[in-house]
């Protein structure tokens, strides 16, 4: 099959979160299954762009409202990522340093989508499936089916994968002229609550909808930031497929970012060395259990609960543990986390910002990773942690529920709690500290979690089955 993934992010070209990891990995596994895979993203100005050579594949143009935009499709020359990586360049719109958070994101991502559809419409053949990811690409199924200029693409099957339903790309109807001329009888497909809602539109128009874990799919029926009724109505074409991880990138035996490589055979010793180095760098005591958090400092991740949790744990349980936080996001949480370093020097430290290398060193050097998320469609951190022998402590929600079993349950290996509350997290830290003191149990758990297979193999096949179900006979 010829598959084309369209996304705002793709690792290692541009990464903000797990979406990049998925779009940078799933295609590799689909290639291994014998398919032809292309990935298309906007041409963000990242290091990867400048460090690689590109060839021009196509040039075109389109009207958006009263503006004309020229676009260029470029392709990475060396095929370093195995799959074909294409970028859309639209001068002045897409060639920016950050992926998101510009005032004109609506215009930027609409233009990106128009360029992608316009390019595909110029091919001599049609792809077997167009797989779009999240709201930034959510108008594509509609454009392919209902925009007059692209009506010859109407039969090409489209798949939407929802990585996060909290963000929906809401647009005012005043901007409806950004979308190429469409059959106005179909306006209702664009609409949700009197706004153009690209995510809702994709749920309505795509042939199949998936989300990144079965539990999250279930949760969307009752908690989908206003789209609950839509998910109930469209449930027949929705399914949950758990993300996997790139076991080549995330491999403690070969990881070049970490000080000492190790496997499940020498996990205790390997982790000890990595922890020693990490603790030295951040002025923490390597003899205490080390708890980490890595991620976007936003409400969904319950990052706002971290400062109080750290403070309460160190006061109530005593100085029996240390914490290291890596993340960026909400300014208030960033400031609180920075402020706290003064109060708990030697037991707590933080690094505000994005640092891929440090994240690997933390997965390798930590004993426990905290994930108290209020919403977690899948979550990759817990799976990376497992691979590095770090015990995940997760709230029972979404993909966290599907990938972590509490060590108190048969076959369990992690710590689970029910509420995103300071009390519940602190209580779990208490449990973790007790567990850490049982060195035999910790050794056994490390070995057990490192052997868990969360690779993409099975899920990549599930996506292929989903595509096959859409092929018109």
- Residues forming contacts to ligand ADP in the complex (CB under 6 A) are 17-19, 21, 294-296, 326-328, 354-356, 359, 378-381
Query: Given the complex with ligand ADP, which of 16 and 259 has the nearer CB atom?
Result: 16
Class of residue 377 by CB neighbours under 10 A (exposed 0-12, middle 13-18, buried 19+): buried
With CB under 6 A as the contact rule, the residue among 4, 6, 18, 178 that binds ligand GLC is 18
163-192 binders of ligand GLC (CB under 6 A): 163-164
Under rule CB under 6 A, residue 380 binds ligand GLC: yes
Query: Given the complex with ligand ADP, which of 52 and 296 has the nearer CB atom?
Result: 296
* 3-class state of residue 351 by DSSP: strand
b vs e for 191-229, b when ≥16 Cβ sit within 10 Å of the residue's Cβ? ebeebbbbbbbbbbbbbbbbbbbbbbbbbbbebbeebee
Closest CB to ligand ADP: residue number: 18
Class of residue 7 by CB neighbours under 10 A (exposed 0-12, middle 13-18, buried 19+): buried
Class of residue 431 by CB neighbours under 10 A (exposed 0-12, middle 13-18, buried 19+): middle
Query: Given the complex with ligand ADP, which of 150 and 250 has the nearer CB atom?
Result: 250
381-420 binders of ligand GLC (CB under 6 A): 399
With CB under 6 A as the contact rule, the residue among 295, 379, 389, 414 that binds ligand GLC is 379
With CB under 6 A as the contact rule, the residue among 377, 389, 392, 414 that binds ligand GLC is 377
Stretch that binds ligand GLC, among 202-210, 224-232, 370-378, 432-440 (CB under 6 A): 370-378
With CB under 6 A as the contact rule, the residue among 189, 212, 238, 445 that binds ligand GLC is 212
Under rule CB under 6 A, residue 374 binds ligand GLC: no
Q: Residues 385, 377: contact at Cβ < 8 Å?
A: no
Query: Given the complex with ligand GLC, which of 212 and 325 has the nearer CB atom?
Result: 212
CA angle in degrees (0–180, nearest 5) for 61-64-65: 145
- What would you measure as the largest C-alpha separation in the chain, in angstroms? 69
Find the Cα–Cα–Cα–Cα dihedral 394, 399, 401, 406, rounded to 10°: -50
From the CA atom positions of the chain, what is the Rg in Å? 23
* 3-class state of residue 133 by DSSP: strand
Nearest approach in angstroms of CB 294 to ligand GLC is 13
Q: Which does 381 bind (CB under 5 to 8 A by kind): ligand ADP, ligand GLC, none?
A: ligand ADP
* Distance, CA of 222 to CA of 232 (rounded, Å): 9
Closest CB to ligand GLC: residue number: 18
Under rule CB under 6 A, residue 243 binds ligand GLC: yes
Binding site for ligand GLC (CB under 6 A): 17-19, 22, 163-164, 212, 243, 376-380, 399
């Amino acid at each position: 099959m010829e598959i084309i993934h369209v996304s705002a992010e793709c690792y290692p070209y541009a990464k903000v979160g797990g979406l990049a990891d998925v779009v940078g990995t799933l295609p590799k596994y689909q290639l291994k299954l014998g398919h032809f895979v292309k990935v298309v993203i906007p041409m963000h100005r990242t290091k990867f762009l400048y460090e690689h050579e590109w060839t021009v594949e196509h040039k075109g143009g389109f009207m958006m409202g009263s503006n004309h935009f020229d676009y260029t499709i470029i392709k990475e020359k060396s095929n370093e990522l195995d799959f074909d990586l294409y970028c859309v360049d639209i001068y002045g719109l897409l060639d920016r340093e950050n992926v998101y958070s510009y005032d004109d994101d609506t215009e930027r991502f609409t233009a990106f989508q128009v360029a992608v559809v316009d390019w595909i419409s110029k091919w001599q053949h049609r792809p077997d499936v167009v797989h779009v990811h999240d709201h930034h690409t959510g108008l594509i199924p509609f454009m392919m089916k209902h925009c007059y200029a692209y009506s010859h693409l109407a039969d090409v099957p489209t798949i939407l994968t929802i990585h996060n339903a909290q963000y929906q790309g809401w647009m005012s109807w005043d901007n409806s002229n950004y979308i190429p001329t469409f059959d106005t009888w179909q306006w209702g497909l664009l609409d949700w609550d009197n706004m153009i809602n690209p995510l809702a539109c994709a749920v309505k128009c795509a042939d199949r909808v998936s989300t990144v874990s079965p539990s999250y799919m279930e949760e969307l029926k009752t908690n989908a930031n206003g789209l609950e009724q839509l998910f109930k109505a469209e449930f027949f074409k929705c399914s949950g497929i758990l993300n996997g991880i790139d076991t080549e990138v995330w491999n403690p035996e070969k990881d070049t970012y970490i000080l000492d490589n190790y496997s499940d055979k020498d996990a205790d010793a390997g982790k000890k060395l990595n922890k020693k180095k990490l603790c030295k760098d951040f002025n923490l005591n390597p003899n205490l259990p080390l708890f980490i958090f890595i991620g976007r400092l936003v409400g969904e991740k319950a990052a706002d609960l971290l400062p109080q949790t750290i403070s309460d744990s160190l006061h109530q349980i005593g100085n029996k543990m240390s914490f290291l936080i890596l993340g960026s996001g909400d300014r208030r949480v960033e400031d609180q986390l920075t402020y706290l370093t003064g109060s708990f020097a030697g037991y707590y430290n933080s690094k505000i910002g994005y640092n891929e290398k440090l994240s690997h060193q933390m997965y390798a050097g930590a004993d426990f990773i905290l994930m108290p998320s209020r919403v977690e469609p899948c979550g990759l951190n817990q799976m990376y942690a497992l691979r590095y022998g770090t015990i995940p402590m997760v709230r029972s929600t979404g993909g966290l529920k599907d990938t972590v079993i509490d060590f108190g349950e048969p076959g369990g290996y992690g710590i689970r709690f029910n509420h995103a509350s300071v009390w519940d997290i602190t209580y779990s830290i208490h449990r973790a500290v007790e567990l850490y003191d049982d060195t035999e149990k910790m050794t056994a758990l490390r070995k057990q979690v490192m052997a868990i297979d969360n690779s993409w193999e099975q899920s990549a096949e599930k996506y292929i089955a989903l595509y096959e179900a859409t092929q018109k006979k």
